[in-house]
Amino acid sequence: MPVSDFSTRPAASADGRTIPNLLSIAGTDPTGGAGIQADLKSFAAHRAYGMCVVTALVAQNTEGVRDIHLPPVEFLRAQLDAVSDDVAIDGVKVGMLGTAEIISTVAAWWDELTQDSGAGAPVLVVDPVMVATSGDRLLHAEAESALNGFLHRADLITPNVPELALLAGAEPAATTEELLAQAEQVADTHHVLVLAKGGHLEDATVTDTLVHPTDDAGHRPSYQQFESPRVETSSTHGTGCSVSAALAALRARGLSWPESVAQVKDWMTSSLQAAEALDVGRGHGPIQHFADLWTS
């Protein structure tokens, strides 16, 4: 956890910029609902300038993943350097990493980028993408321990129910209580703030919870819970990607984590409600990122 204070952070405008520069490091979805394509829409919906570095080219659609092509890691590093040699980055969202080699390449770049920056480091949100909604694996099973070794760098991680179970080495939680116990374990293991997302539970209310690690005195700040009504829709492809990108953007704009989560939950509810106006694919369709913008 590189940021000592979990609740406040200077806005990107502290050095004169009012529109933060946000980078997504993730895989692709040619149907535009998940991965990098979702992240860029989410950055734009939250008034941030979006940039992207591709970790994996994924031949997928709303029905599932067909194939994955991994560019050489030297080329991944070249993409990362091309951005950071030129642009002041205010926030980074990391999604699909795929392999241990990709994880160590991104980690080395991040460590060099931030070695002297202290609290001035970009916001880092890690969505520990492992398995797609369709059930297809997006992270090699043998890379799970490498992903565990990456997480302490993050300001916030945003696992869903199955991802939190894999990180905690447990069965997927069936209740919010089980989810929170796993989140506490993961928060303490990696000393990182966890947003435990409840989308995969079946309650009529979807609850996401910010779970802090214990501090040096063994004290854990109280949970902050964010509830919203469950929207009945099959258009949930890319919700996790979109939420993590939105949180990175709002935090880089200077909102606290609780303010960011509250705002993103409201936005996600309207994006899911408006998704039926889209007609994209036969499987799990995308959300409507711009529902609040396209009012006519």
Ligand X SMILES: Cc1ncc(COP(=O)(O)O)c(N)n1
Q: Answer yes or no: 8 catalytic.
A: no
The residue to which tokens 């321990």 are assigned: 145
For the bound state, the minimum distance from the C-beta of residue 149 to ligand ATP, rounded and expressed in Å, comes to 21
CB-based contact 212:221 (threshold 8 Å): yes
For the bound state, the minimum distance from the C-beta of residue 220 to ligand ATP, rounded and expressed in Å, comes to 22
Instruction: Show the tokens assigned to 247.
Output: 């949180």
DSSP 195: E
Residues 112 to 141: which contact ligand ATP by CB under 6 A? 133
Query: CA–CA separation, 274 vs 190, rounded Å?
Result: 37
Q: Which amino acid is it at 113? A: L
Per-residue interface string for the shown chain with ligand ATP, residues 241-260, x marking contact by CB under 6 A: x-x-----------------
Active-site option among 32, 198, 238, 285: 238
Size of the site for ligand ATP (CB under 6 A): 21
DSSP 265: H
Q: Answer yes or no: 197 catalytic.
A: yes
Active-site option among 197, 198, 209, 285: 197
The residue to which tokens 């993730």 are assigned: 26
From the list ligand ATP, ligand X, none, partner contacted by residue 94 (C-beta under 5 to 8 A by kind): none
Q: Which amino acid is it at 181? A: A
Closer residue to ligand X, CB minimum distance, 26 or 164:
26
Query: Which residue from 71, 172, 199, 281 is in contact with ligand ATP, where contact means CB under 6 A?
Result: 199
Residues 6+ apart with CB under 8 A from 195: 156, 157, 158, 159, 208, 209, 210, 211, 247, 261
Rule CB under 6 A: is residue 208 a binding residue for ligand ATP?
Answer: yes
Q: Answer yes or no: 169 catalytic.
A: no
Query: CA–CA separation, 267 vs 261, rounded Å?
Result: 10
Rule CB under 6 A: is residue 206 a binding residue for ligand ATP?
Answer: yes
CB-based contact 124:247 (threshold 8 Å): no
Query: CA–CA separation, 201 vs 157, rounded Å?
Result: 19
DSSP 12: G
Q: How far is C-alpha 98 from the geometric centre of its chain's CA atoms? A: 15
From the list ligand X, ligand ATP, none, partner contacted by residue 121 (C-beta under 5 to 8 A by kind): none
Query: CA–CA separation, 110 vs 117, rounded Å?
Result: 11
Active-site option among 28, 99, 207, 239: 239
From the list ligand X, ligand ATP, none, partner contacted by residue 272 (C-beta under 5 to 8 A by kind): ligand ATP
Q: Answer yes or no: 241 catalytic.
A: yes
For the bound state, the minimum distance from the C-beta of residue 116 to ligand X, rounded and expressed in Å, comes to 31
For the bound state, the minimum distance from the C-beta of residue 103 to ligand X, rounded and expressed in Å, comes to 15
Q: What is the dihedral of CA 113, 118, 123, 125, to 10 degrees?
A: 80
From the list 42-50, 110-118, 142-150, 198-206, the region that binds ligand ATP by CB under 6 A is 198-206
Q: Answer yes or no: 239 catalytic.
A: yes
For the bound state, the minimum distance from the C-beta of residue 130 to ligand X, rounded and expressed in Å, comes to 9
Query: CA–CA separation, 185 vs 205, rounded Å?
Result: 24
From the list ligand ATP, ligand X, none, partner contacted by residue 27 (C-beta under 5 to 8 A by kind): ligand X
Q: Answer yes or no: 269 catalytic.
A: no
**Chain contacts with ligand ATP (rule: CB under 6 A):** 133, 160, 197-200, 206, 208, 228, 230-231, 236, 238-241, 243, 265, 268-269, 272
Q: What residues act catalytically? A: 197, 236, 238-241
